[in-house]
Amino acid sequence: MKKTRVSKKTKPLAGLATRAIHAGEDRQRYADSVTTPIVQTSTYVFKDSKEIEAYTKGGKDRFEYGRYGNPTEKVAERRLADLEEAEACVVFGSGMSAVITTIMSLVRSGDHIVITDDAYKQTLEFCSSYIQRFGVSCTIVKFGDYKALDRAVQRNTRFIISESPTNPYLNIFDLERLNEIARKHNVLTLIDSTFATPMNQRPLEFGVDLVIHSCTKYLAGHNDILAGVVLGRSELIEEIRQLHMAMGGVIDAHCCYLLLRGLKTFPLRMAAHNRTAMKVAQFLEDHPLVKKVYYPGLASHPHHEIAKRQMSGFGGVVTFDIKGRLATAKRFLDHLELCFIAPSLGGVETLITHPASVSYYRLTRKKRYELGITDTLIRLAVGVEDCQDIIADIDRALKKSSK
């Protein structure tokens, strides 16, 4: 297993919980505050002309304009890099901003990219459609078909991109096999690891070049901000940072403050998500009204052995197919009392969604089924409520929906 180089600056010196609270912060802070303050400004003042020259010509370390950086943002970047054990990272105003900017910074006209068919819907749409406007071609490969993935790489292929676990079926990419294919062809690899988080999986340890997270989800953890991050080697991150500054998809200081606050409890929350999701998955697998459960922690999941090998936890999302028809699924959702019907995940509240009605509603039923999105498919993102209450709510709604 190839290890990614970790700089001395970001190399972890303590346990995950300690780093989640303290990493990236200076010991002495403004006004002796315990928490990193919000630097709510769009621009920064120079004392005199000498300071301008010291910055522009001498490389003095300071801030100039909000689009190029903010003190609160820099603390968030250092902490995230530490948790992922990456050399560097860039924080964005949303997960999709991180994805699109990363892709655009790495390709040139005439390049080719490879993406799996189980990648996030909007990432897949961008790679297979919009990016072709810039003269970049794309090949979509069935997830898990590593021979097809190997064959799909061309002489002009720039990178392979996917996610692990995937949405909504929680498929797990064999990162060691991905690394073998990528090194064979000398191409870059990008993995969206949002569902796993740095607590459950660190793709950089397996030779992956860049890791992307929607910080909106587990890292911030409270369903109250939008944020994204890309992490990896310094030379790649700096290339992405340059386009990031030009495009302006920046995160504001208050969002960075909330992200930092969320990260302080991230390991505690993630442990609860892992624990509860496993119990809920086991409950659903034994439920007479459930047809199929998809959770990598279950032996029945097709990628369970891969997950055990490269993950330390299996995440907080459980996808399941209930018995019945579309009307049954709708009745199930309508009878829930604790779980909120909402399309996101990773927060303290338990959220549940019906992909056929939300993410894929524009597609015909035939097309949805070709993608595996059935009428009765449900995605559950467990929160940190008491596990027995979540199970009781689901059980009650399932029983009522079958009547």
Provide the annotated active-site residues. Answer: 67, 120, 192, 217
CB of 87 within 8 A of CB of 7?
A: yes
CA dihedral over 212, 216, 219, 220, signed as positive or negative: positive
d(CA 19, CA 81): 11
Q: Which helix or strand (DSSP H or E) is residue 54 part of? A: helix 49-56
DSSP state of 67: G
DSSP letters spanning 297-348 = TSTTSTTHHHHHHH-S---SEEEEEESS-HHHHHHHHHT-SSSEE-S--SSS
Angle of helix 95-106 versus helix 234-247 axis, rounded to 10? 110
SS3 state of residue 379 = strand
Decide: 144 and 305 in contact? Cβ < 8 Å. Answer: no
Instruction: Please state the φ and ψ torsions of residue 325, each to the nearest 5 degrees.
Output: -125, -175
